[in-house]
Structure 1
Amino acid sequence: MILISACLCGINCKYDGGNNINEKALKLLREGKAILVCPEQLGGQSTPRAPHEIQNSTGADVLDGKGVILGPEGDDATQEFLKGAYETLKIAKEVGANVAILKARSPSCGFGRIYDGSFTGNKKDGNGVTAELLSRHGIKIFTEENIDEFLEEYEAYSGK
């Protein structure tokens, strides 16, 4: 089973109440190959909500107790993000997921590059909290930005 960020399949769980629909991700869901997760909602955050970014660190630092996730007004949502990451991991284990396709740049789901904490659209190297936690548990992470790479690997593996 593949975990996919719910926003990528048209679920309106993005911070602003919208979604980030990706037809390739949605096709995997329609084929019964995926289960949807929204770590931010799983962590108890509402939709819509203020955007949040990891401040002066990365998801790895947050998991290690050395970083925080703040909104533009300074509200600390670190605990909600951590709860959502661990709830997502529980789901991954329950369904036997070994791959996840997550929302790029998100403080939860970003992988490789995330927003830098300045709320200016700038990016930095690092992972979101959920992506980091899943990766630490052996789940291979992709984003919508490299979903074609995943699909090529998947087709080669499954013989399609």
Structure 2
Amino acid sequence: MCVLGQPVRYNGSAKTAAHQALDQWRREGRLVPICPELSAGFGVPRPPAEIADGQSGQRVLAGVARIVDATGADVTAPFIAGAQAALALARAHDCGFALLADGSPSCGSRFIYDGSFAGNRHAGAGVTAALLRQHGIEVFADTEIDALLERLAQQE
């Protein structure tokens, strides 16, 4: 939802991906928007959260890493619930592809933050991106719309 201009990020902002393909897909009814964090019951604004200790969404799903917010609260369970909601929605709409906001502990697909809340990034995926990939859904970052277009062209 944030890549479509909805102000649902932790700080109440959007992360709008400006691309004509998004406008076209919206007109065609091809978009299935969701914010996993809102689906999990988080509000806007909310404390920022990161996957602790430089871990990844895959490790969170495996039960060996956790997600904490800036107050120190363990928010792993709701993040996993949000990822499961996103997967259920994707399956209900027979989605083969997902376009997610990079950097998020939910939606990051190329990079996430390291858990120090110091702005340090590392390669990795958030919980939702990892879960979607585990179930065969191809995930693209909000900066990879052209690559998604190419992939869609291969399928059509």
TM-score computed with the length of structure 1 as normaliser: 0.91
What letter is aligned with 1:22?
Answer: A
CA–CA distance in structure 2, aligned partners of residues 157 and 94 of structure 1: 20
Classify the secondary structure of the residue corresponding to 1:114: strand
Q: What residue is the counterpart of 1:7 in the other structure?
A: 2
Q: What residue is the counterpart of 1:17 in the other structure?
A: 12
CA–CA distance in structure 1, aligned partners of residues 26 and 47 of structure 2: 28
- Say whether the 8 Å CA contact 1:43–1:83 is kept in structure 2: yes
Are 1:110 and 2:82 counterparts? no
What's the % identity of the aligned pairs? Answer: 40
Q: What residue is the counterpart of 2:131 in the other structure?
A: 133
CA–CA distance in structure 2, aligned partners of residues 112 and 21 of structure 1: 17
- Say whether the 8 Å CA contact 1:53–1:70 is kept in structure 2: yes
- Say whether the 8 Å CA contact 2:110–2:141 is kept in structure 1: no
Aligned length: 153
Q: What residue is the counterpart of 2:40 in the other structure?
A: 43
CA–CA distance in structure 2, aligned partners of residues 99 and 115 of structure 1: 23
- Say whether the 8 Å CA contact 2:17–2:143 is kept in structure 1: no
Are 1:26 and 2:22 counterparts? yes
Cα deviations across residues 133-152 of structure 1 (Å, max 9, x unaligned)? 00000000001121111112
Q: What residue is the counterpart of 1:77 in the other structure?
A: 75
What letter is aligned with 1:44?
Answer: G
Classify the secondary structure of the residue corresponding to 1:84: helix
Classify the secondary structure of the residue corresponding to 1:100: strand
1:67 pairs, out of 60, 65, 68, with 65
CA–CA distance in structure 2, aligned partners of residues 15 and 30 of structure 1: 28
- Say whether the 8 Å CA contact 1:104–1:110 is kept in structure 2: yes
Classify the secondary structure of the residue corresponding to 1:141: strand
RMSD, aligned CA: 1.3
- Gaps of at least 5 residues in structure 1 are 1-5
What letter is aligned with 1:54?
Answer: I
CA–CA distance in structure 1, aligned partners of residues 5 and 62 of structure 2: 32
TM-score computed with the length of structure 2 as normaliser: 0.93
